[in-house]
Amino acid sequence: MSIARFWRETPQRYNLGGSRCSVCQHVYFPPRTVCPSCTNHRASIGKMVPFQLSGDGEVTSFTVVHDAAEGFEMQVPYVLALVKTVEGPTLTGQVVDVDPSQVTIGLKVRATFRKLREEGKAGVIHYGYKFAPRTDDRSAAERSRSRAGTFGKSASEPASA
């Protein structure tokens, strides 16, 4: 994969930058230019504004992968999950920092910034979000008010909205 192909997605992959339709208020990740929820799609064009996810969510399904995707061979077995974020969008990502046998549907998780994969010995290293179990009850939005967390900094919207 070319460097540019990954680099151009860094606002999303590093900082969970999504978008919100200012007509119907639906939140999307990754960002969209047209709102699928608006009855009048055309009305949403030009009205999609940046919206940052907090990174908090809940596992809605998961699998333990043994036959790895390309570049993930050294990580097997790894947990891949669907994570429904508190803001609405569902994301696909790994669940880490937990024994795979402890992962359940309903597990509360928080996005964490990690190395995703390497393109061989000399290729690009891809970074982005994975998810780890939440170890405290504070949401990422609360943390961002006390200190700038990786996924909480410069949030343009309160994550609990």
Binding of residue 38 to another protein (CB under 8 A): no
Q: 129: how many CB neighbours lie within 10 A of its CB?
A: 23
What is the residue-wise DSSP string for 74-95? Answer: GG-SEEEEEEEETTS-EEEEEE
Q: Which stretch binds another protein (CB under 8 A): 18-26, 37-45, 73-81, 133-141?
A: 73-81
- Out of 68, 98, 124, 132, the only residue in the binding site for another protein (CB under 8 A) is 68
Binding of residue 37 to another protein (CB under 8 A): no
Q: Which is nearer to another protein, 91 or 159 (CB)?
A: 91
- Between CA 149 and CA 105 the distance in angstroms is 26
CA of residue 20 relative to chain centroid, distance: 15
What would the two tokens of residue 4 be? 């540019």
**Residue at 19: amino acid letter:** S
Binding of residue 18 to another protein (CB under 8 A): no
What would the two tokens of residue 130 be? 């994975």
3-state secondary structure of 14: helix
Fill in the DSSP letter of residue 124.
P
Q: Which stretch binds another protein (CB under 8 A): 18-26, 50-58, 59-67, 142-150?
A: 59-67
Contact criterion met (CB below 8 Å) for 161 and 45 = no
Binding of residue 24 to another protein (CB under 8 A): no
Q: Which is nearer to another protein, 110 or 117 (CB)?
A: 117
Q: Which stretch binds another protein (CB under 8 A): 41-49, 50-58, 86-94, 145-153?
A: 86-94
Q: Which positions touch another protein (CB under 8 A)?
A: 6, 9, 13, 30, 60-70, 72, 75, 77-78, 80-82, 89-94, 105, 116-117, 126, 128-130
